[in-house]
Every structure is written in structure tokens, then in C-alpha cells.
Amino acid sequence: MTHSSRAWLIWSLGALSFSYAFFQRVAPSVMVADLMRDFAVSAAVLGNLSAIYLYAYAGLQIPIGLALDRWGPRRMLSGAAILAACGSFLFATAEGLNLAYAGRLLVGIGCAVGFVGALKLATHWFPPTRFAFVSGMTMLVAMMGAVAGQAPLAALVDEVGWRVAMFGAAGGAALLAIVTWLIVRDRPDGEHGAAAEPSITMAAGLRQVILGWHNWMIALYAGTMAAPFLAYGGLWGVTHQMQLHGLDRFEAAATNSLMLIGWAVGAPAGGWISDRLGRRRIPMACAAGLSLLGWLILLYVPNLSLAASQLLLFAIGAASGAMVICIAAARERASAAVSGATTGFINTAMVGSGAITQPAIGYLLDLNWDGTLEAGVRIYSLGAFDAALVTLPICAAVGLTAALLVPKRQPV
């Protein structure tokens, strides 16, 4: 096996860990009615049940980045996949809300290593000039998991129920842990190996990351670009499309998947374009501007056809996916000793934004609920969704502003 093919194989297992994380991230969106019924909860509570995964995931990104810098991705990715398998099993067997929370929390902890671990492998196995493209390819693989968590999972849930589907997810994570341990190596061997990274304490690494003004602006951009995608694509989009166009769950999940497919296209394309241009800030700003325009049309232009909504969801997803450029922008400003911690810091904002917006939209839906119930499940009108989803274009507007405030740095 050539060095190049081995590099792609090892990176692919890290990317699959992130793909599994995205599958778990969006899975609740096709189980909204089932979970609200089985646990007898409102939209706000369901938003928290979904977002507790994100709380754990986001809260661990910086510690995980520091741990990856010190202990390497092989051990971290394998152990994390075992935790995700245990959490999925606990969630599938939960009879009460507290155990369901515990299961989702454990899934979030187990999935938290995937993205940073995959990029850590990319740092060691690929040249710096390909980092933005490989980052985009990591997002593309992740979106395969996200798409699997939409229409295919919806069909599986309709066939066997959400609990059996989550049992299957537990088995998949366990298998991934075994394969990762057997195949992944932290860095190339011998003459191809990367030079040892300079030693630095975790406290010093954290201080170096958080004292950088550019890191805060990039993190703000990452969070506000990811928040609409995580809130809509990851939880509320299926239900909104059902109301907007009168679709059934499978049809709405398939429509919502176009946003994920758009992300899968936009992430590697945006990374490739940014690498070719040798610039980061301008592509970042363009992506935010396109996302803002797409949300404004989707939410506030009346009488959109289903085809128009589908095209807009794809375009918004593509623009949102291009935000992966900001990871390269942050890594180019970071020393080798804190590369993982820097990625973790940016990813904290990226995922943490979803942890805020998912329950926030649920709260706004409850606030505008007109009292309609169907089989014990709250039904939210389009007016309620219009009021709740105003958060999405606001986020995109903040992301555009943050991109323009990122300090200039050549060739960025």
C-alpha cells in the first residue's frame, strides 16, 4: 500500500467517526413525534433532549483537542466510539426521561472526538497545502452519516421503531471502535513521519488559544454559520417541511436531506476554492452572505413551491458547508503544539451554537403554540414556525459580520 493510499484509509476512519457523530446529531429530527409521545414532553423539553448531546460535545472540544495533541487520535477515537455505543444502547432502552438524557449525554461524549480527531490525522498524514480540501472532504463524509440519519432512518423508524434503530446505532459504533484500533496510526512511520511536536502543558496550550483575538472572531463565525444548520437540519427542519408543504415524515426527511447534501458539496468545494485562491476571509464572507440570502427567501417569500424550497435548502447547505474554510484559517494561525486545541476551540463554538438554538427554537415554538394536539403530540402552526425560525437569518447576518472582522493575515 502506498503512503498516499494508506493516508486516505487512516483519515477515512477518523472521518467515519465524525460521520457517525453527525448521524447521531440529526437522528432526533425524524423521531420528534415518537419521542414527544413516548416521553410525554413538549417541544422545549425535546429540544433539550436533542441538545444535551451538543452540550456534551461542545463542552469537551477544547479538552479533547488538548488530549489529542498529547495522546494521539488512535486511542482517543477508539475509546470514544465505545462510549458512543454504550450511550446509544442506554438511550434505546430508556423508559424515563432521565435515562434518555443520560444516554444522549454519553453519545455526545463519545462522538465528541470525531471531527478534531479526523483533522488531527489529516495534519499528520497530508501536506498543509491540502488541509482545507481534506477538511472539506471530512465534512462530505460526515454528511453521508447525516443523510443516513434522515430519510433512511425515518423509513427504518417507521418499520421497526426508534428503539431498535438506536440498538443498531450502538452496534455500528462498537464495530467502528474495533476497526479504528486495528488500522489507525497516529502518524507515518520512519522517514515519512512528522517531526515531534513541541512539548507544552495543557494550561499553556489553552492560554495560547484563548488569548488570540482572531480565534474568537473565527469561533463566532463558525458558531453562527453552523447554528442554523444544526437547528434546522438537525432537529426542526423535518417538522417544518411537513407543515409547510403537507408532506409525510419520509418525504419531509428526504427534503430536509437536501440541506445535508448541499453541505456535503459545499464543504470540499469551498475548501478547494479557498486553497486555490490562497484566501480565507473573502470566501468565508461570501458563504455567510449566500446563507443569509437563502434563509430570507425560504422563510419570508410567500407561496414557495416544494421544488423552490428544496433548491433553497440545497443552496443554504452548500453555503453553510463552505464555512469549513474557517478551520483552515484558524489552524494557519496556530502553532503545531496547539493545533488540536485550536480546532477544538472553533468546534466548541460550532457545535455549542446548536446546543443553544435547538432548545431556543423549541421554546419559541411553545411560546407561539395555539393549543392544537394530535394523538397527544403538540402541533405547531406555520405562524409559530415563522416566529421561532427568525433566529436563523439573524445567525447568518452575525456570521457575515464576524467574517469581515477576522484580522487580515497573508495569504488569508
138 lies in some domain: yes
| Assigned domain for 140 exists | yes
351: domain CATH number is: 1.20.1250.20
End-to-end CA distance of the chain: 35
Give, for 374, the enclosing helix (H) or strand (E): strand 373-374
Report the half-sphere exposure of 138 (CA within 13 A, side-chain side).
Answer: 31
pLDDT-derived band at 191 (thresholds 50, 70, 90) equals: very low
Amino acid 412: pLDDT: 37
Q: Is residue 223 assigned to a domain?
A: yes
pLDDT tens-digit map of 307-339: 999 999 999 999 988 888 888 888 777 666 666
In a domain, 283, yes or no: yes
Average pLDDT over residues 170-194: 83
Q: Is residue 356 part of a domain?
A: yes
Return the percentage of the chain with pLDDT > 90, whole number: 37
Structural domain boundaries enclosing 363: 3-188+201-405
- Answer yes or no: is pLDDT of 410 > 50: no
Q: Which residue has the cell 486555490?
A: 276
Domain assignment present for residue 410? The answer is: no
The answer to whether residues 65 and 345 touch, using CB atoms and an 8 Å cutoff, is yes
Distance CA 181, CA 75 (A): 7
Q: How many domains does the chain have?
A: 1
Of 132, 157, 131, 173, nearest to 22 by C-alpha is: 173
pLDDT value of position 338: 67
> If pLDDT is split at 50, 70 and 90, which confidence band does 162 have?
very high
